Structure 1
Amino acid sequence: MLAVFLVTFPFFALIAAGYAAARSRLLPLEAIPGLNAFVLFFALPCMLYQFGARTPIAQLLDASVALVWGAAALLVVAVTVRLTRRGRIGWNDAAFGALVAAFPNTGFMGVPLLAALLGAAATGPVIISIVFDMVVTSSLCIALSRLDATGHAGGAAFWQAARKALRGIVLNPMPWSILLGAAASAAQWRLPGPADRTVSMLADAASPAALFTIGAVLARGALLARAQGASSRRGAVADVLPVVLVKLVAHPLLVAGLGAAARAAGLPLSQGALVTLVLVAALPSASNVSMLAERFGADNARIARIILWTTVAAFFSFPLAVGWLR
């Protein structure tokens, strides 16, 4: 277990450093969107391109991995909506609570962390999970968030949300970088030397910059939650704790159970791929869900608390998951 903590500690330490920098205002809150843009549009796409280009195309098209991950994600969304949609929590807040329960922080945190723990073999399942969550899980939850509206206005809101979700997918550089990397892998093509070195330099910056940015985004979310904290502490715990437990406990157990069932049914799901998927599910919630919740008018303070709590708890729960699987 100590060996696992020695691997995971630097990743969480960088998150803590970003949190402290933003919370102390050493990093101005106004600078966080720029830092986030660097990671999202420059560094992380280069890292994902390299992972895709260096991974055999068969691993990127593993239908068994996509089936297990997709089934687990859809079940987590359904269960979370069923558990949390009550009282003042309508479809909008329940849908984004479900998204933050089903969508791990794979891009910013999971890719470098799982590569350090499991090596290159983890790349294929990780990339498949990223694509599914960005395309299917996010779109589904955004569509569900519009069900609070009724009648003709409700239909218009639904299709407007669908268009926003599609536009977000098209403008997100991560799926395109994965697609280009997969095409390069299939064609066995390499970038010219100077271009390859430029991409490598940006890719090397992705991991520390992404982790530091997660901490800064969490600090901004915590400050926002404090500013909007109209609900009592007891009410906040009741709203947040079930989603945290679904994310860090139910989600990885569900993936493990579905994966074991798939292997028992004869699907060609390797043990290594299943271990990777379980660890992806054990990651904390994706920090970008907070921005989506704000854009669609959900209770962003609640979403920020869930992301913060899952990130803090994962410092302890993620190494335990690694030790359990080993």
Structure 2
Amino acid sequence: MLAILSALIPTFGLIVAGFALRHWRFLPDAFWPGAEKLTYFITFPALLFANTAKADLGSLPVTGIAIVILGTACAMAALTILAKPALQVSDAAFTSIFQGAIRPNTYIGLAVAAALLGERGLTVTALCVALIVPTVNVLSVLACSHWGDNNRKTGIISVLRDVIRNPLLMACVLGLVANASGLGLPPIAGPFLEILGRAALPIGLLAVGAGIDLQAARRAGGPVAASTLGKLALSPAIAIGLSLLLDMPPIDMAALAFYAGLPCSASAYVLARLMGGDAKMMASIITVHTLVAIATMPILAILLHAA
């Protein structure tokens, strides 16, 4: 248990540090949007490309990974829709709960995988990114289009075009192509991307902390609590159950469970604001998920280690 906490405390310490830096205005507010943009478009794609390009994919149960992570996301989407009458919220608020059920914070996921599971866990997580990014984006846009207040009708072609342009997805796909072609990481560009990728986790986690909104957390009520329980407890439980059914290797099962139990991504707030969702509830969900995950991720790690 001590080893697990020793590995995870620095990860969540960076989130707390990001919150403190933003709260105490150590850096100007204008710094954080730039840091998020740098992470999203440059350093995280570099990390994902470098990892997938050099990974030993032949040793991974790719089909099993796809079944578990996509099955978990689809199960959570279906259960959330089935629970809509019991939640007793507006349609706009429901879109925020829906996004909270399926969208993961990839920054935290990669950091946890790197800290606890090594290269293999990082590679499994990168594959999860490649599979989940297009899936949850399409599902979220369709949900917001159907239930959002502005009733914006988004065509499937427009949705797919936006998904294809996602830099995290593009990095994974290009890395897989480089891997499958035998090119791997080229001599000069490879080390450059690996060095660039090392900046992704600290900058990304600081930005996650800077985005924590305690005022939004204070507005949280029953629906936000239900969302938190679903994403941080039910979702990893489903992933573990599917992994056991498919007899997945322990490290792969752990990586899948961690990814399924990640807090909601901050990108959900942008979509909620643009497509008529309840942006205030979305901010509450993101903040509460992130704060509670500081406790649930170590608990999940300890339970998986004990198993």
**Structure 1 and Structure 2 fold alike (TM over 0.5):** yes
Give the Cα separation in 1 of the matches to 2:140 and 2:174: 27
Give the Cα separation in 2 of the matches to 1:187 and 1:110: 27
What secondary structure is seen at the aligned counterpart in 2 of 1:297? coil
Root-mean-square deviation (CA, aligned residues, Å) is 2.4
Given that residues 252 and 282 in structure 1 are in contact (C-alpha distance below 8 angstroms), is that contact kept between their aligned partners in structure 2?
yes
Do residues 275 (structure 1) and 264 (structure 2) align? no
**Equivalent residues in 2 for 1:58-207, closer than 5 Å:** 58=58, 62-84=62-84, 86-90=87-91, 92-106=92-106, 108-148=107-147, 157-160=152-155, 162-207=156-201
Tell me by how many angstroms 1:261 deviates: 2.3
Give per-residue Cα distances to partners, 1:55-87, cap 9 Å, x unaligned. Answer: 123367711111121111111112223334554
Give per-residue Cα distances to partners, 1:136-164, cap 9 Å, x unaligned. Answer: 122112102222379xx96xx3334x455
1:247 maps to which residue? 231
Cα separation, partners in 2 of 1:291 and 1:58, compared to 1, 3 Å: farther
Give the Cα separation in 2 of the matches to 1:302 and 1:244: 12
What secondary structure is seen at the aligned counterpart in 2 of 1:158? coil
Give the Cα separation in 2 of the matches to 1:62 and 1:308: 32
Given that residues 60 and 128 in structure 1 are in contact (C-alpha distance below 8 angstroms), is that contact kept between their aligned partners in structure 2?
no
Give the Cα separation in 1 of the matches to 2:118 and 2:16: 25
Do residues 5 (structure 1) and 5 (structure 2) align? yes
Give the Cα separation in 2 of the matches to 1:144 and 1:279: 25
Tell me by how many angstroms 1:167 deviates: 3.1
Letter in 2 for 1:141: S
Structure 1 stretch 22-31 or stretch 61-70: which is displaced more?
22-31
Tell me by how many angstroms 1:97 deviates: 1.6
Give the Cα separation in 2 of the matches to 1:173 and 1:60: 24
1:57 maps to which residue? 57
Cα separation, partners in 2 of 1:8 and 1:75, compared to 1, 3 Å: same
Runs of 5+ consecutive residues of structure 2 not aligned to the other structure: none
- Give the paired residue count: 304
Give per-residue Cα distances to partners, 1:263-306, cap 9 Å, x unaligned. Answer: 3xxxxx33332221112122222222122222222112211211
1:266 maps to which residue? none
Given that residues 17 and 212 in structure 1 are in contact (C-alpha distance below 8 angstroms), is that contact kept between their aligned partners in structure 2?
yes
Give the Cα separation in 1 of the matches to 2:148 and 2:238: 32
TM-score, with normalisation over the residues of structure 2? 0.90
Give the Cα separation in 1 of the matches to 2:61 and 2:173: 11
Do residues 320 (structure 1) and 299 (structure 2) align? yes
Given that residues 101 and 246 in structure 1 are in contact (C-alpha distance below 8 angstroms), is that contact kept between their aligned partners in structure 2?
yes
Q: Which structure carries more helix by proportion?
A: 1
Given that residues 127 and 172 in structure 2 are in contact (C-alpha distance below 8 angstroms), is that contact kept between their aligned partners in structure 1?
no
TM-score, with normalisation over the residues of structure 1? 0.85
Tell me by how many angstroms 1:95 deviates: 2.8
Letter in 2 for 1:292: L
Runs of 5+ consecutive residues of structure 1 not aligned to the other structure: 264-268
What secondary structure is seen at the aligned counterpart in 2 of 1:294? helix
Tell me by how many angstroms 1:134 deviates: 1.2
